Amino acid sequence: MGSGHRDCPGTESEDAGKASACEGCPNQNICASSKAKGPDPDIAVIKERLSSVKHKILVLSGKGGVGKTTFTSMLARGLAQSEDLQIGVLDVDICGPSIPRVMGLDGEQVHQSGSGWSPVFVEDNLGVMSAGFLLGSPDDAIIWRGPKKNGLIKQFLRDVDWEDVDFLIIDTPPGTSDEHLSLVQYLQNANIDGAVVITTPQNESQIFPPTTGGVEQMADEMKVPFLGKLPLDPRIGKCCDEGTSFFEEFSDSPAAKAYQHIITGN
Amino acid sequence: MGSGHRDCPGTESEDAGKASACEGCPNQNICASSKAKGPDPDIAVIKERLSSVKHKILVLSGKGGVGKTTFTSMLARGLAQSEDLQIGVLDVDICGPSIPRVMGLDGEQVHQSGSGWSPVFVEDNLGVMSAGFLLGSPDDAIIWRGPKKNGLIKQFLRDVDWEDVDFLIIDTPPGTSDEHLSLVQYLQNANIDGAVVITTPQNESQIFPPTTGGVEQMADEMKVPFLGKLPLDPRIGKCCDEGTSFFEEFSDSPAAKAYQHIITGN
């Protein structure tokens, strides 16, 4: 039953809603009707809108609290140190947006122009879009089901006026659900360059060191590149809490150098 | 826009799909059709099924990685130390189930009987149900959209044969999305006794102590009881990784006593 999705014929299939794997699936009726048929015309609109974005990178993790948002902000700020690069950050953690805080943009609002929603800028070359900017107060919460989250993600991809951007970094919520499926679906023709998966050792204290070979061995087994290890420097957490740039404040720290190594390869 | 859900007339309203707040909502069509009308008849079935469960407690958090699953397992094991209590744990983190691992039940499968799905038992008085038991291998992942997750949550509430249980503890994924809305909707007539919200200090290292008064002040402002603080003992993480009981292995530790204090009030 847990593997039912593997045999899902897909919403565009002739068998949609009619295959044996569809039995018991809550989407069976809508798939069996003609409503789910055909590619979404917005996928082409999104491709056109994002044609001015050179590279698109997703940041993912299986579990929460491993540092996705911290990594996203550090990657964006690290890249933005090159003044000739234009960087965008898109926060699709709709029900728990924390990019505004770590970027020092709490309380900012999105502005609309004739060409779409304008990102909020941290620096001249670093723009940000987040569901957090749509809330009246930082204490407000967004309590939405998947379809409504998917609608906002589509708006973010289709309606934000990024202009010319070299790297668009997309921060996602923990796990593998609507947000991730929608991103991959909506960006299917817009070329995602890659995904960075963030993980932490099971036991950060290292009092009981890992015995399974850890993430390097896993990356090796799964034949994906292992990008590097990042030290836990409490000053990174402090900078994220305060919305300031760790690279500017602690440029010579081992943590800053470890990030630089992952970002530039040097 | 972010506050659109506040003005949602509700799916059972005459205005469903027709109010001004419905404009642009991805659910508008289904709400405007008659499909969404009327209460779900399964809500009464769930009430009847859970009538043998005395207390139902949700475990929630805004962000991931703060220790919801650790707390859930410690609360369940702590309560189960009283042999005259019967405890159930329901893991509704469908896309990231980790309850099986921390309960030492990796690789277990759910069994079906004439009266429904049988929980997997850790002890005679401690039964567990999780999406993790439906996977072929611990390395498999569930990548499901909201509606499919909601369908499984309904099955968990309607079809699991808990028998007589004193406390059913429900572990949820991070954030505020489908899982939380579905739980509250499906359990609306089944009396949820309370919810425990887990949080961590912004900066666990305490090198930079919090300056805002922290969670105690927040609980005071929001007029919800502050249940207590739990120390970070790395041996808890070790027990969770190994699926063993911290209370049995380290019963005299300050952390075990802090949990006992929250659980029993003594």
Is residue A86's pLDDT more than 70? yes
Residues paired with residue A53 on neighbouring β-strands, in sequence order: A165
Arithmetic mean of pLDDT over chain A = 88
Looking at the complex, does the CB of residue A66 fall below 8 Å from at least one CB of chain B? yes
Express each pLDDT in A174-199 by its tens digit.
999 999 999 999 999 999 999 999 99
Which of B64, B134, B149 is the closest to A63 by Cβ?
Answer: B64
Interchain proximity A95–B24, CB inside 8 Å = no
- Does the reported pTM lie above 0.95? no
Instruction: Quote the ipTM score.
Output: 0.80
Residues 19-58 of B with CB under 8 A from A: 24-27
The predicted model gives B131-140 an average pLDDT of 86
Positive or negative CA dihedral for B124, B130, B134, B138?
Answer: negative
| B133 and B22 Cβ atoms separated by less than 8 Å | no
Q: What whole-number distance in Å separates Cα of residue B231 and Cα of residue B17?
A: 48
Residues of B in contact with A26 (CB under 8 A): 147-148, 150-151
Closest residue of chain A to B96, computed from CA coordinates: A175
- Tell me what pLDDT residue B35 has: 61
> Position of tokens 């087994």?
A221
Residue A201, burial from CB neighbour count under 10 angstroms (0-12, 13-18, 19+): middle
Q: What whole-number distance in Å separates Cα of residue B75 and Cα of residue B77?
A: 6
Express each pLDDT in A120-178 by its tens digit.
999 999 999 999 999 888 778 899 999 999 999 999 999 999 999 999 999 999 999 99
Position B39 confidence tier, pLDDT thresholds 50, 70, 90: confident
Position B208 confidence tier, pLDDT thresholds 50, 70, 90: very low
Q: What are phi and psi of A15, to 5 degrees?
A: -90, 5
- Tell me what pLDDT residue A203 has: 53
Is residue B202's pLDDT more than 80? no
Min distance A28 CA to chain B CA atoms (Å): 10
Closest CA to A34 of A46, A17, A53, A22: A17
Rounded to the nearest 10°, the torsion over CA B61, B183, B36, B175 is: 10
Q: What whole-number distance in Å separates Cα of residue B245 and Cα of residue B87?
A: 15
Looking at the complex, does the CB of residue B142 fall below 8 Å from at least one CB of chain A? yes
